[in-house]
Structure 1
């Protein structure tokens, strides 16, 4: 049974914004289907896909509130996660097998800081092949899974904050605030490349979209924590 902060049973989620914490291995579409089925919502959508291997903030809009989805899509986003260095993957994350680049990683904090600074501000980013961007009607990830690669045009993105800390010899923690359309797995891959060690995105959690965050998610549905706005 689901209830609001006053203990009243929630039965009507029409015309609401739902802040949900997407669990690991569920797709964003899975979360939408769960809420739609449980609350018999006629119209519902989300404002920004999270990969199945990512967790964190997913904003759902129902009925008339779906008109606000495009406004939410353009908001900046904040993520935190880890980068595995010394290895790469074809997908830039854990979807594909790891390929070891080096077992001897000789870098220091100054090297990490030097590379970190190159990402700040307005930069160009080439979308990864493992992405939902379509070319001639086909998502790039479907071509990538067949071993095909096509030319992708770089896009301008803005990275306003980027914090990187060393966890151990092969893993870095990061927190990043970036504009719409930023591929964090590409950030991880490029960071490892510029560091000279190779790297890929090991874990990812979205913590903020605009002024929306993960605090106060006191309700739970099928293992998904959420709150209503």
Structure 2
């Protein structure tokens, strides 16, 4: 029997990092003497690798200025965590992950975070036992390139027909399509329902029960195939 693989994005999908990412973007802009970006501009870049994301946010920066921008963003995040900050999980996330694991799903992560961020998240209770592999922008090309999803499938022994990518941005959906896997969106993160559908999402879940129902439908199709 085919055991389906669910590959999850982190920011905006499992973890509510909206406030911290916006704060770090604004504080980094202040360091460079730039105008603070609006939340709407910041939310569009989430999911991309950090250097690419900040280049999209401020395309007029020189390479040296971009490096300073990246460093300032990272410094803001470090300060938040050193002060004890931790992003909360979205409601129902742990119950959904536990249920999928119990039902025989293989679980993996594919995120625009760097390896430090992934390690920090895998230190959450139960996470290291839930996920078979984790893949991030530091490993190679970031979203929407399919590299992370291809690596996840290789690591977990899955093929495209049995794999679903769950994310909250058009970057996740495009990565899924580029890898030939099922693209599934969630409506509680950074990109809107309409933006994800326009990118090719097969469904955009409104909450975790809706997400589980969509995954059940996918699993029944994958097992039948």
Structures share fold, TM-score greater than 0.5:
no
* TM-score normalised per structure 1: 0.27
* TM-score normalised per structure 2: 0.27
Query: Which of 1 and 2 has higher RCO (CA within 8 Å, sep 6+)?
Result: 1
Q: Which has the higher strand share?
A: 1
Bigger-Rg structure (1/2): 1
